Structure 1
Amino acid sequence: MANTHVFDGGNYVEVDRKANVGDLIVITNDSTFPRENNGKIGKVEFAIGNGISVNIGEGLDYYPHVFTGEYRVLEPLETVDESQASPQVIDMLANLARRVTSLELQLRDTQRNVETFAEQTEKNSEGIRELDERTQSLTRKQVKIDPPTITECYISFSHDGITNLDVSFVGKPSVEELVKVFTQSLNGGKRR
C-alpha cells in the first residue's frame, strides 16, 4: 500500500509519477546528498534535465536536484470536515485512497507485463515463421528397402509322425523347389 503523509495540515498519499511544477514530493532515495534528506517534503520549483529542483525549506532555499526515481509525488487525499466525520470514516477514506493507489501501481505493472509478453510473443511468432520457411524446402526422402535375401534354408518336416524330411538349401529356394519338397514329404518321402 502507498504511504500517506501529513504536511501543512493536509493528508497526502504517495504516487509514482513524474512531478510537475507546483507538486509536493517526498524524497525517497537521495543519491546526490547525504541520505538525511530522505523523507523530506518539498514543493517542485522547476524541472532540470532528468530531475527536479525542490524547495524543502529548513534553511535551504532550494534543493539543487532530485533525480527521477528518487522521489514520489504527494497527492492530496479528499478533504473531509472532521467535525462531520468520525475518525473511523477518516481512517476508512485514507485506507481506500491507499488501496486505490496500490491498485493503480499494480495495474501499471500488469500493463507493462502485458506489453512485454506481447513483444515476446511477436518475437516468438517471427522465429516460428522463419523456421517454417527454412523447413518448407525439406522433403521426406523415400528409402526403398529390398526384401530380405535368404542365403541358407533348413526345413524339417514330419508328415505322419514317422516320415521325416530334412532339406537344406543354399541360396534362395524357389517356390517350385519348396512345393516339390513338401509334396515329396507328403508322399512318404519318396521322390516322384
Structure 2
Amino acid sequence: MTKTNEKIHVLADESLGGIKREYVEVDRKAEVGEKIVIVDVILSFGTYHSGDVFDVATKRSASVRTACGKCLYDEEYRVLAPTNIVHIDGERYEMVDRKAEVDEKIVIIAPDDDLAVDGDIGKIATVTEVFSEEDIDASPMGWVKRSEYRVLVPAESSEEEPQPSDPIDVIANLATRVAELERENKRFKDEIDTLHKDNRRHGEEIAQLDKGVHTQSQRHLYRQQEIERVWECMDRIESEMEALKYAAKETDGKVAHLEADSDMRLFTAEEVAALLNAMRER
C-alpha cells in the first residue's frame, strides 16, 4: 500500500502488459531500467521540463542518460518506484503474493514458459478452481501456475486516481519558484559586488606597496649620495693632509734657518698654520 503523503504517479507499466500502475517518488540515484521524473530542471535548453517522465538507459557517476538520449543530472530527477497498486477498469487493486481463492481476480505477472502464449502477461482472470499445489484454474485462461500470478485485492482507500494539478496551485508553485530564483539572483549579484570591492581594495593595497617601495628607493638613493659626499670630503682631507706634510718638509729648513739667523721666538701652531696657508696661496 502507498502512504497518503507520498506523491503518486499513475503510469502504464510495460512489464505488466501496459496496465496502469502507481509509482511513488524516491530521492536517490536511478538504476538502469527504472523510471524517473524531472523535479528540478538545471540546464535543459527547453528539451525537457518538470514533470516529464523518462526510462533510464545508462548511468554515470553524477548523471543518467534516458532511453530517448537525454542526459540528466542526478539533482534534476527523482526515481519512480513501482508500488503494488494497479488500476483496472477505473478501480484500484493491490497485487498480493499469496494463494488465490475461488472467485478472486488475478493478474499474470510472470508467464510460465511451458504454458504461456503471446500476450498472456498482464491478463486479468477470475479463479474458478484451486488445486492442492496452489495452482488454479481461471477463466478465461485455464490452468495457471502459482508462480505466474498475483491476487488482485480491492485497495481499501478512498483515494481516487490523481487528478491534474489545480491551476491555482500551479501558479502558486511558479510564484514560489520565481521568488527563489530572484533570491538566488540577488545573492549572486551580492557576491559579484563583494568580489569587485575586494579587487579594488587589493589594487589600492598594491598601489600603497608600490608607493612605499618608491619611497624606500628614494631614501636609499639619498643615503648613497650622502655616503659619496662623505667619501669625497675624506678624499679631500687626505689630499690636504698630504699637501700639508709636503709643505712642512719644504718649510722645515726655512724655519730652522730663521731660528739660527735671528734670535726669533718659536712659532706657535697657529702661526705655522697661517704661514702654510700663505705659502699655499702663492
TM-score, with length taken from structure 1: 0.39
Greater Rg over alpha carbons, structure: 2
TM-score, with length taken from structure 2: 0.27
Greater relative CO (CA pairs within 8 A, separation 6+): 1
**Which of the two has greater helix per residue?**
2
